[in-house]
Amino acid sequence: MTSEDSSRTPPGKDVAPQPLRGFRDYPPPEAGARSEIRRRMRAAARRAGFRELETPSVEPLDLYREKSGDEIASQVWAFRDKGDREVALTPETTPSLARIFAGRAASEPLPVKWFTVARLWRYEEPQAGRTREFLQFNLDILGVGGLEAEVDVLAAAGLALDAAGAAGLYAFRVNDRALAEGMGRALGAREGVRFFRAVDQFRKMDRSAFLRELETAGLAADSARDLADLFATVGPGLSAATLAGFFDRIRDWGLDSAALAGADRLRRLATMAEAAGLGDRWVFDPTVVRGLAYYTSSVFEGFARSGDGRALFGGGRYDRLVELFGGPPTPAVGLAIGDQTLEQLLRSAGRWPDGEPLLDFYVVAMTPELRAEALRLTAELRSAGRSVDLDLMGRSTTRQLREAGRRARRAVLIAPRELERGVVLVRDLTTGDQAEQPRSSVGPWA
């Protein structure tokens, strides 16, 4: 240690205790609850026949160029690595999944049903329910051209949301891009992307602003009014049963065959969703188009029945993405549930889980000489599968018991005379009941 060293400001003193803007720390008990939710959602995905895939957190920037749609592309955290390659922190897992599948397509039996649980990053303005780093739970089915894939992925999303604690709190909004695009064409929209962008704004702006958006997309004023009127009558979405009414209203719009095929898919999807037990959660919503450029027909989102309207998840069919990555033409459907909006939903409904149950035992040494014995017993109980802790700070018996009361369901008291007789005292910290147990047997202490 030189004199220069000691005069130097400790480097950490300048570091704020907060994480970077848009990032969150999850100290206990939050991290435990998040872990528990992930565990339940993973189990739900497996129950629905999905297998886990783990994708890298850094990918070549090229993976996201022109594939993810304007919105994501502008939000990618890209940088040059030390080898001067342009790389990106992954903003979504679907391109990685498509890349990985493309490399294995020859040997992979279809259908592929994969799920991922991944941290992702987007450089966007932080706000409630939107962070720059977030966790996403993805479900994808590859190789299925039929609507069975849409139904299965929505069913799995339902299982996962229910497992997370959100049962009854959400529904699915479903639409078809071919129908939406065809409606746009019928109304004189110049190009699909701009029309989608306008449609997507319907629930986010007032009527006059929405009309202006539609006119920018090429609609005549009366066409724009017709569409706004139509959307307004749909309200929060139509159930499968009332879908027919919507199609009646646009029957004389002169929709082309692509649009009519989209309408037909929606009708069949509604019937299948009903069979799959999703009828109570399925609504048609013609304003759902989703931001990602690669969706080809079905699009859907999950939304909280009460809440600010931010999507719980988004997804759709992306039949051309795998081919874009050099794989064989492969139909695909997927969706992604974000952790931030799900957390908001569960918290606001009082369903946020307790990820940290009490310990089974807290081992108390009644005298300092018995600490080695406490160590030994703790090790044995932990090896037998119990959750156990003990004092590490040389605290008094009183303080050990207080700590036990705070953290455990039962205390094991090691006292000199009892230990000589080969027993310890087990105290139920809820009832206060106390009983002797043989030291040698840990089995009965379940």
Pick 288 or 427: Cβ nearer a copy of itself: 427
Residue 99 contacts a copy of itself per CB under 8 A: yes
As measured in angstroms, the least distance from the Cβ of 270 to a copy of itself is 12
- 445 lies in the site for a copy of itself, by CB under 8 A: no
Compute the distance between CA of residue 373 and CA of residue 375 in angstroms, rounded to an integer: 5
Among 329, 385, 416, 422, binds a copy of itself (CB under 8 A): 385
Which of 129, 143, 315, 334: binder of a copy of itself (CB under 8 A)? 143
Q: Extract the runs of DSSP E, i.e. beta strands, from 122-214.
A: 133-142, 170-176
Distance between CA 89 and CA 119 in Å, rounded?
10
From 172-180, 214-222, 307-315, 380-388, span contacting a copy of itself (CB under 8 A)? 380-388
CA distance 211 to 227: 9
Only one of the segments 10-18, 177-185, 233-241, 308-316 lies at the binding site for a copy of itself (rule: CB under 8 A); that segment is: 10-18
Least spacing, CB of residue 183 vs a copy of itself, in Å:
19
Residue of the chain from 326, 328, 416, 422 that contacts a copy of itself (CB under 8 A): 326
The single residue among 40, 65, 197, 351 that binds a copy of itself, judged by CB under 8 A, is 65
Pair 211, 225: CB distance under 8 Å: yes
- Candidate list 216, 407, 425, 426; residue touching a copy of itself; CB under 8 A: 407
Q: CB of 259 within 8 A of CB of 183? A: yes
Q: How many residues bind a copy of itself (CB under 8 A)?
A: 116
Indicate which single residue of 23, 229, 232, 280 sits in contact with a copy of itself (rule: CB under 8 A). 23
Q: Among residues 103, 375, 147, 380, which one has the least CA distance to residue 282?
A: 147
Q: Which stretch binds a copy of itself (CB under 8 A): 80-88, 259-267, 342-350, 427-435?
A: 80-88
The span from the CA of 388 to the CA of 446, in Å, is: 12
Integer Cα distance of 207 and 193 in angstroms: 20
Among 72-80, 172-180, 198-206, 420-428, which window interacts with a copy of itself (CB under 8 A)? 72-80
Minimum distance of a copy of itself from residue 352's CB (angstroms):
15
Please provide residue 65's backbone torsions phi and psi, each rounded to the nearest 5 degrees.
Answer: -65, 125
**Which H/E stretch holds residue 58?**
strand 58-60
How far is Cα 402 from Cα 407, in angstroms, rounded to an integer?
Answer: 9
- How many residues can be counted in the chain? 446
